[in-house]
């Protein structure tokens, strides 16, 4: 156990020294503070499964019964499944492309 703690600590020190050397102390300090923030945030303010469960419990049982657990019996009848799939795939592609354009 001690070995693990020690090796992690040494790895962090080496990494910190590298960053200070390459980018300066200010950049290192900013990164370190941000990391500390995330560590603490994840440790104390994370969303747990309990919250999810509570939400799920709060939804009426019958509502949950219908949240896609039961789906319309309708089938595609005389439609061409390949054409439908192609259209939907295309739609998905458009969504991804639009999203990539939004990104700087």
Partner 1 sequence: MKQISVVIVNYNGVHYLQSCLDSIYASNAENFVVDVIVVDNCSGDHSVEFIKKSYQQVRVMTNDLNNYVRAVNLGISHTMADVIVLLNNDTIVQKNWISGLVETMQEYPECGVVQSKILFADGTTVNSVGVNEIEDFYFKDTGFGEKDSGQYEFIKEIEFFSGGSVAIRRQCLEQVGNFDEDFLMFFEDIDYSIRCRKKGWKIYYTPKSVVHHRYHGTATTELSNYFCNRNRFLCIAKHGPSSLPRSIKSSHFFLNDDLNSLYSSLLEASKILVARHEDEVVHSTLCRLKKELLDLYETRKVYNFFAQLELLLGIRRIKIGIYDHAFHFSGGGQRYVAEMAKILQDKYDVTYIANKDMKLSQYMDWYNIDLSKCKLKILKIPFFEKINEYTINESAVLFEDNNPFDIIGDESLNYDVFINANMLSKVKPQSIYSVFVCHFPDNKRGRFFHVDDYTAIISNGSYTSSWIKKKWRLEPTHVLYPPVDMYNTESNSRNKKNIILSVARFETTGSKKQIEMARTFADMVSRDKILMKDWTLVLAGGTFPGNPYFDKVKNTVSSLHCNIELRPDVTYEELRTLYRDAAIFWHACGLKEKDPHRVEHFGMTTVEAMQNFCAPVVIDGGGQREIVEHNISGFRFKTLAQLQEYTKALVSNIERRYEMAKNAYERSHNFNMDVFKAKLEKIFDEIETELKGKPIAIRK
Query: 19: which residues sit within 8 A by CB, 6+ positions away?
Result: 27, 28, 31
Is-contact 32 16, C-beta < 8 A? Answer: yes
Left (φ > 0), alpha (ψ -120 to 50) or beta: where does 77 sit? left
Residue window 17-56: x/- pattern of binding to partner 1, with contact defined by CB under 8 A: --x--------x--xx-xx--xx--xx--xxxxx--x---
Check binding of 11 to partner 1 (CB under 8 A). Answer: yes
Which positions lie near partner 1, rule CB under 8 A? 1, 8, 11-12, 15-16, 19, 28, 31-32, 34-35, 38-39, 42-43, 46-50, 53, 59-60, 62-63, 66-77, 79, 81-85, 87-89, 91-92, 94-96, 98-99
């Amino acid at each position: 156990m001690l070995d693990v703690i020690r090796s992690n600590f040494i790895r962090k020190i080496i990494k910190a020294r590298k960053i200070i050397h390459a980018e300066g102390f200010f950049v290192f300090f900013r990164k370190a503070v941000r990391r500390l923030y995330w560590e603490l945030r994840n440790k104390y303010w994370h969303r747990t499964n309990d919250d999810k469960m509570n939400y799920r419990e709060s939804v009426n049982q019958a509502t949950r019964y219908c949240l896609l657990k039961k789906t319309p019996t309708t089938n595609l009848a005389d439609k061409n499944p390949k054409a439908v799939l192609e259209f939907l795939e295309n739609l998905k592609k458009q969504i991804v492309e639009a999203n990539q354009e939004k990104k700087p």
